[in-house]
Amino acid sequence: MADRYELCLSGFGGQGLILAGIILAEAIGIHEGKYVSQTQSYGPEARGGKSKAEVVVSDTPIDYPKPTDIDLLLAMSQDACDTYYIDLKAEGILVVDSTYVSEVPSNQAIQVPCTKIATDLGLKMVANIVSLGAISEVSDCVSYASLKKAILTRAPKGTEKLNLAALSEGAKAAKKAMS
Amino acid sequence: MADRYELCLSGFGGQGLILAGIILAEAIGIHEGKYVSQTQSYGPEARGGKSKAEVVVSDTPIDYPKPTDIDLLLAMSQDACDTYYIDLKAEGILVVDSTYVSEVPSNQAIQVPCTKIATDLGLKMVANIVSLGAISEVSDCVSYASLKKAILTRAPKGTEKLNLAALSEGAKAAKKAMS
């Protein structure tokens, strides 16, 4: 992995992307000892329903915390996919929630039905955790074990089992999508 | 208020400063229609126990989202106060949680016993919300009404009343501390 690695988690409000960004940042920053900066922006555009969390990972302290050239884009809505795909590097990784994204802009896109998987597990809300599982499978930026630890810290009491199942199913589905 | 206003919420891990940063950013970005960027950093320093959330507010889209010159510093631990006070502007506002900060670096510091107030309300965890109430009182960057809306969106079901009481007590205590 290069010194600087940039991720953008995008979709619509209510999908838990900010929490996903925080969990991802804690997994890498606390459990893998790298420097991580996690940003979300609010403003006129947020009222349009789009939501975005950005995570920048580095081996050295981070001066400019906003992504400049995205290595991995997660798009959990068609609108977010259409808007942010242009910021993805040529060799970057695109993961889409195929429950909501039907028109993919690249035949390299990794299509994981995150929301469908979460609904099948019994709680649509854990689609964000399914997507983190997929990210652990498709990228070296974070390990499955570190995500597991970070999720156990953040998951409300009583939801640990469900969240870990979501993580596991997301990783499995991404593996399948890539094969 | 100038075009760019920068806040730093600091203390130790577990005080809910990241959530406070998100609530503050949503209050201003969604309910007051300004541009807001909210950042937290993780890494070797986070393991030392310090926690910090940064919020930058602007009337125009934000290019560089990290504070460069802090207008308002909230310090909820002595360690955070000692570390971040140097980044506060000369004319900046310092709010300390006097439950934990006994040595204040300035006689202009606004001393609010956030954690004590939260404990008296029955839940120490809402000290972060007490501190947001104090911020609404000492700065024009966010209104009490917008914070109330943002808290009601983020507060877990059943905790609304307690969180609004924390907000109110924080504002009252700050008013008293300034008089």
Domains along the sequence of chain A with CATH? 4-178 (3.40.920.10)
Confidence of residue A128 (pLDDT cuts 50, 70, 90): very high
pLDDT in tens, B12-30: 988 999 999 999 999 999 8
| B29 contact residues in A (CB cutoff 8 A) | 41-43, 46
pTM above 0.90, yes or no: no
Q: Name chain A contacts of B67, Cβ cutoff 8 Å.
A: none
ipTM of the complex in this document: 0.78
Which amino acid belongs to residue B171?
Answer: A
Inter-chain CB proximity B40 and A37 less than 8 Å: yes
Exposure string over B120-158, b if 16+ CB within 10 A, otherwise e: ebeebbbbbbbbbbbbbbbbebbeeebbbbbbeebbeee
Whether residue A175 is predicted with pLDDT greater than 90 in this model: the reply is yes
Query: How many contacts (CB atoms, under 8 Å) link A and B?
Result: 78
Distance CA B70, CA B88 (A): 5
Contact B108, B94 (CB under 8 A): yes
Instruction: Find the CB nearest A65 among B26, B66, B156.
Output: B66
- Nearest residue of chain A to residue B37 (CA atoms): A41
User: Distance between CA atoms of A134 and A152, rounded to whole angstroms?
Assistant: 17
Residue B163 has pLDDT above 70, yes or no: yes
Q: Which residues of B touch A (CB under 8 A)?
A: 18, 22, 25-26, 28-30, 33-44, 46-47, 61-62, 64-66, 156
Q: Say yes or no to pLDDT of B51 above 90.
A: no
Tell me, what's the pLDDT at B156? 83
State the Cα–Cα distance between residues B130 and B122, nearest whole angstrom: 13
> Does residue A137 register a pLDDT over 80?
yes
- Indicate yes or no: CB of A39 within 8 angstroms of CB of B64: no
Residues in A closer than 8 angstroms to B33, CB to CB, are 43-44
